Structure 1
Amino acid sequence: MLPTLDIRFPLPSATILPDYGTDGLYGLASSLRHWLHDRDAAWLPGEVSAGERAVVILLLIDGLGDHFLDTVGQGSALQGARRQTLTSVCPSTTASAVTTLMTGVPPAVHGLNGWFIHDHRFGGVIAPLPLMQRGGPPLEAFRLLPRLCPTPPMFHHARRPVNLVSPAEIAFSRFSRHHARGAHIEPYDGLEDLGAAILAMADALAGSGGLIHAYYPTFDALSHAFGCRSAEAGVCFARLDDLFVRLQRALAGRDVRIVVTADHGFTDAAPSRCVDIAPEGEVARMLAAPLFGERRLAFCKLRQGAEADFEAWAAVALAGKGVAVKGEAFLASGLLGPGVPHPRLRERVGTHALLMEPGWTIVDHVEGETTHEMIGVHGGLSADEMLVPLILART
C-alpha cells in the first residue's frame, strides 16, 4: 500500500504534495537501497534486470528542476532523455533530499527537515551539513554524527560496490564521511574532472557492476546567486548537457545506465516579497529560538504562552503570503514521509510550521550570522521547487 498524506490544514496555493510512493525521489532512493543490498533485485523497471551486474551512474544535479528543463532546457539532450517527473521530498531542499538519496529513507526518518534544524543537545539551531551553529562556531560533541544522524547510509553493508564522486571541498567533510560509510570516495575539482572521475570509476566497476553516485552542486549555487532563469544558470546547464552527451559517447557499447536527477527545483523570490522578522520586534520576542528549516518553509519554537499572540499575528501578517500550521498537525500530515520517525523529529518541527506562498520567503536575523541574499530559493511546495526530472540513458 502506498503511503498516504493526512492534511487537515490549509496549504499554499498551487501546492504540489510529495509523493512517497513510486513517483517520488524517496521511492527512487528506497528502491536503489534495495538493489544495493540484494544481488537478485532489479531496479528501474526495464533498465536493470534482477541479478544483473550492471554499472549504474547516478548523477545528481543539485537544483535542476523539471520546469527548468522544459523552459531553459527545451531541446537539450537531457530533456530528450527524460523518462519521468518525480516529486522531491518535503522540504524541497538539499539537506532533506540529498540525505534521502544517501540513506534511502524520508526526512521523517533521517530527521533532517531543512538546512537548519533544532537540536538542543548541540546548541539549539544548527546547520547539519556544514555542522555549524546558526551564527556560531563549528559543532563539537562526543559521537556527534551518530547521535545527530543515526540512520545508516544505504551504502553501509551494501552487496554491490559503490563509488561516491564528490566535490573536493566537501568530499571528506564530517557529514560526507559519515554518510559515505561502505563506499569509496573519489573527490573531483570542476566539471571536466567530474567527467573524468565518472569514466575512471566506470572502468573500475566494469567487471563487477555497481553504483557511481556523482554529485554536482554548482548549478544550485548559481541559481541562488543569480536566479533560476539567469544566464549564469543557463550556461552551467549547457555545460552539463554537453557532459551528458560526452559520457554517452565515451561509454558507448558498455551497456552502462546513466541516471540523472535532482534534489529539488528553484523559484525566484524578490526582496519585496520577504517577510522580515525584525531582531528586536514583537514577533522575535515570541520566539524561543531563531527560525529553522528553510526561508520557504520555516519552523519555529515559541516561548511558553506566546502561541495565541503568534497565531493572531500570523493570521494578519501572513495573509496571502504564507500559512501557519501547528507543529503537531504538520507532523501528523505525513508531509515528511512514512516510517518510524527520528527520535528528535518533534523538536525539529517545533511548535509551528510556516508554509510560504509561491514567491514569498520569511527570514529572521541572528547575531554573528552573515546574511546571504538569494534570488533563487527553494524548500517550499510550489511546482518549480517540488518537481524534478528522472533522466535515463543506456549506452
Structure 2
Amino acid sequence: MLDIRFALPVDTVLPDYDAGGLHGLAASLRQWLQAPGAGWAAGEVEPGERALVILLVIDGLGDHFLRTMGVGSALEAARKATLTSVCPSTTASAVTTLMTGVAPAVHGLNGWFIHDRRFGGVIAPLPLMQRGGPPLEAFRLLPRLFPVAPMFHHACRPVNLVSPADIAFSRFSLHHARGAHIEPYQGLEDFGAAILAMADALGRSGGLIHAYYPVFDALSHVHGSRSAEAVACFSRVDELFRRLQLALVGRDARLVVTADHGFTDASPERCIDLAPDGEVVRMLAAPLFGERRLAFCRVREGATREFEAWAQEHLAGKAVLVSGEAFLGSGLLGPGALHPRLAERVGTHALLMEPGWTIVDHVEGEIAHEMIGVHGGLSADEMRVPLVMART
C-alpha cells in the first residue's frame, strides 16, 4: 500500500505493485516458474499447463510511444494493456525486478547509482563499478550486494536467457541468471535467431525464454525518445516481432512483450547542473545517487536547513524535495521485507523532478554523458509500459 504524505510532481503516475504493474507481472511469472501446478495469467498459461513462453523485454519502449509512434505496427495491434514500471522507472530497478520477482524495496537497487558504504560509497551496481572509479572487488561481493535469489534459481521449468554478448556474462548477469542457460547474441538478426533456436530446444518441455534487447534505449538516450533513430529501431524490432509470430505458428507459443520503463526528453536548459566547487555540493556528504530524474541525496550533518532552504528557493517548479524518511515510508519502492541497507540507499533527501527537468553533478574521473532522452522519474511517459501478447 502506498502512503504518500508529500506533494508530487505534475503528471505523476504512481507505481502499481499489483496486477497493473511490472512487479505483479514478475511476481506471478516467478510463481509459475517455481510452482509445478501454477499458471501465468499474463501469458494465458493455465495452471499445470506445459507451455512455451517467450518474454521479450525491449528496454525503453514506453506505452505512449507504442500508442502514438507505433500506430499500425504489429506490436501495437497485439497490445493488451498498460502496466506501470517500478520506482524509479529505470533499468537497474526494473530489470532486477523482472529477474527476481521482487520490488526495488526488497532487491535494493533504487537507481543506476546506489549508496553503499561497504563498497566505497556511490556505486553503479550493474557494471559493478564505483562512481568515477574502478571496478568493485570485495569479499563475497555479489551475495552481499544482491541478496535476493533470481526467479530462475529454483525453477521447475527450463529457462533460457537471450542476452547481448557484451553483458551476457557480466558478473551481474551471471549472478542473476543462476538456474538458467545463457545464450549470447550480437545484433538484431542474431537476437531473433537465438530466440528461435531456444524455442526449438524447449519445444517439447516448454519453459521460459527471457530475451532482452537494449538498443532502443541506447538510441533514445543519445538522439531523443521520438528521434528518427529511435523510430527506425522500433520499426526493426516490430518487424522482428512479425517474423517471430510467423516462425512460431503452430507451436502455441506465448509471445509476451514489455519494457522496463518509458522515456521523456529533457533539454540542456532544464538541467540543474551542480558545480563541483559550488555551495550545494559542499552541503552533500556524497555525490548524488539514484537517477537524474529522481535523485537521492546524502546531506552533511548540520547542513539540512541550508540544503532545504536552497531547494525551496532554487528548485520551485523544477523538483519536489522529500525527506528520506518520508520517501522510505511512502511505499514508492514497493512492498516486501525491506532491503537491510535501503535507508542508506535512499539517503537523507530525495529530489523528484518535475516534467522535463533533470539534475546532475560531477565526479572526478567520471565521463559525463549528455542525454536527450531520460527516465527514472514519475511522469506518465516514463512510468507507463505496454503489455503485448500474441499466441502462435
Separation of aligned partners in 1, 2:226 and 2:253: 32
Separation of aligned partners in 2, 1:317 and 1:136: 31
Aligned residues: 392
Amino acid at match of 2:166: E
Residue number in structure 2 paired with 1:131:
128
The one of 261, 271, 274 aligned to 2:271:
274
Residue number in structure 1 paired with 2:151:
154
TM-score, normalised on structure 2?
A: 0.99
Separation of aligned partners in 1, 2:10 and 2:235: 32
Query: Given that residues 43 and 389 in structure 2 are in contact (C-alpha distance below 8 angstroms), is that contact kept between their aligned partners in structure 1?
Result: no
4+ aligned runs moved over 2 Å, structure 1? none
State the shift of 1:46 in Å. 7.3
Q: Deviations over 1:189-248 (max 9, x none)?
A: 000000000000001111111000000000000000000000000000000000000000
Separation of aligned partners in 2, 1:13 and 1:59: 31
TM-score, normalised on structure 1?
A: 0.99
Separation of aligned partners in 2, 1:101 and 1:45: 14
Equivalences for residues 292-371 of structure 1 within 5 A: 292-371=289-368
Residue number in structure 2 paired with 1:264:
261
Separation of aligned partners in 2, 1:314 and 1:350: 16
Identity across aligned pairs (percent)? 79
Separation of aligned partners in 1, 2:182 and 2:35: 22
Residue number in structure 1 paired with 2:37:
40
The one of 215, 219, 223 aligned to 1:222:
219
Residue number in structure 1 paired with 2:5:
8
Q: Does 1:76 align with 2:61?
A: no
Q: Does 1:111 align with 2:108?
A: yes
Q: Deviations over 1:170-205 (max 9, x none)?
A: 000000000000000000000000000000000111
State the shift of 1:311 in Å. 0.4
Query: Given that residues 10 and 354 in structure 2 are in contact (C-alpha distance below 8 angstroms), is that contact kept between their aligned partners in structure 1?
Result: yes
SS in 1 for 2:83: strand
Amino acid at match of 1:352: H
Separation of aligned partners in 1, 2:10 and 2:306: 25
Q: Does 1:188 align with 2:185?
A: yes
Q: Which runs of 5+ in 2 are unaligned?
A: none
Provide the aligned C-alpha RMSD in A: 0.6
State the shift of 1:323 in Å. 0.5
SS in 1 for 2:15: coil
Q: Deviations over 1:89-135 (max 9, x none)?
A: 00000000000000000000000000000000000000000001000
Residue number in structure 2 paired with 1:56:
53
Q: Does 1:95 align with 2:92?
A: yes
Equivalences for residues 163-178 of structure 1 within 5 A: 163-178=160-175
Separation of aligned partners in 1, 2:307 and 2:104: 27
Q: Does 1:382 align with 2:379?
A: yes
Separation of aligned partners in 1, 2:123 and 2:43: 42
Residue number in structure 2 paired with 1:288:
285
Change (3 A) 1:46 1:271: closer
Amino acid at match of 2:187: G
Separation of aligned partners in 2, 1:316 and 1:91: 25
Q: Which runs of 5+ in 1 are unaligned?
A: none
Separation of aligned partners in 1, 2:26 and 2:66: 21
Q: Does 1:144 align with 2:168?
A: no
State the shift of 1:393 in Å. 0.3
